[in-house]
Amino acid sequence: MLKFHFSGRIVTAETSPDHIKNIEPITMEWLRNKHHKHDFREIMAVISGNCTFKLKNKCFQLNAGDIVLLDSMEQHTEGHYPDPNAVFWWGSFWTDMLRIHLWQENKIASSEIVSMGSFNDFIYHIWNELNISENEEATDEIGHIITVLINHFLRSAEKEKKFPFRNAQHEIMEKILDYIDKMPSLNCTLDSLALLAGYSKVHFQRRFTEYTGMVFREYLLRKRVDRYFKITAKQNFSLKEMAYELGFSSSAALFHWKQRNQKKFHL
């Protein structure tokens, strides 16, 4: 069974780059072309194997047991240069959920979305302490917390036979979720996404629920809440701009949405 052993090394955008000699041209090409950034935080951990990883134009040689903390909108390597022996764990933080991917052979072998509630806030507090103070004690704390989290996921996945799992439907759903993430106003419908996926509405709804663990309406609501908190944290959006970013036709519609969901999500 796969198991993660924390090496004691945590990499952030503030970490000094590794001195990597003689990076192969094919690896450099990969690092140049395979990168992205997004408006949520992520954790990446190397369970086995190794890879060259680029974070904000800094290159790192990552080995088994290393953890990378990726802050919002930090450009980083998308995926990993193919290594048949490497396994990577990715956790993406939403407001009250954690989206987990297990990568094998540079492919997503397993995915899961789990409700985390206030645990996400707990991780954020330790994370911020680590970035601000570079405190070794905080590094050790967050490393061991992440280790427990990863190994819990691996045990559960093994018990329920969730990996290896990858097929055409899996890839389609990944593309759909990525499409939703990048949509400027989150203004999409179940019908439009079903058409994009090439499924009937009923079939798409069933596959979507199986893949994410929630119905489409609930998924979109949670994505909207997550984006709401990220926008309000920036403090430079007008109500009209905020309404557009969240997919509402007017500021009044945004206000009514907040009223309906205030208690559930502490808006």
Q: Please answer whether residues 113 and 212 qualify as being in contact, where contact means their C-beta atoms are separated by less than 8 angstroms.
A: yes
Which pair of tokens denotes residue 180? 């939703």
H/E element holding 20?
A: none
Identify the structural domains of the chain with CATH numbers, from first to last: 10-159 (no CATH), 168-265 (1.10.10.60)
pLDDT score, position 168: 65
pLDDT score, position 83: 75
Average pLDDT (104-122) is: 77
The better pLDDT of the pair 46, 261 is held by: 46
The better pLDDT of the pair 52, 212 is held by: 52
pLDDT score, position 165: 47
Q: Which band of pLDDT confidence, cut at 50, 70 and 90, is reported for residue 9?
A: very high
Digit-coded pLDDT (tens) for 146-177: 999 899 888 877 776 655 445 667 778 888 88
What backbone phi and psi angles, to 5 degrees, belong to 167? Answer: -150, -175
In eight-state DSSP terms, residue 24 is: -
Q: Is the predicted pLDDT of residue 31 greater than 90, yes or no?
A: no
Contacts of 198 (CB under 8 A, 6+ apart): 172
Which sign, positive or negative, has the C-alpha torsion 65, 69, 75, 78?
positive
Q: Which band of pLDDT confidence, cut at 50, 70 and 90, is reported for residue 181?
A: confident
Mean pLDDT of the chain: 84
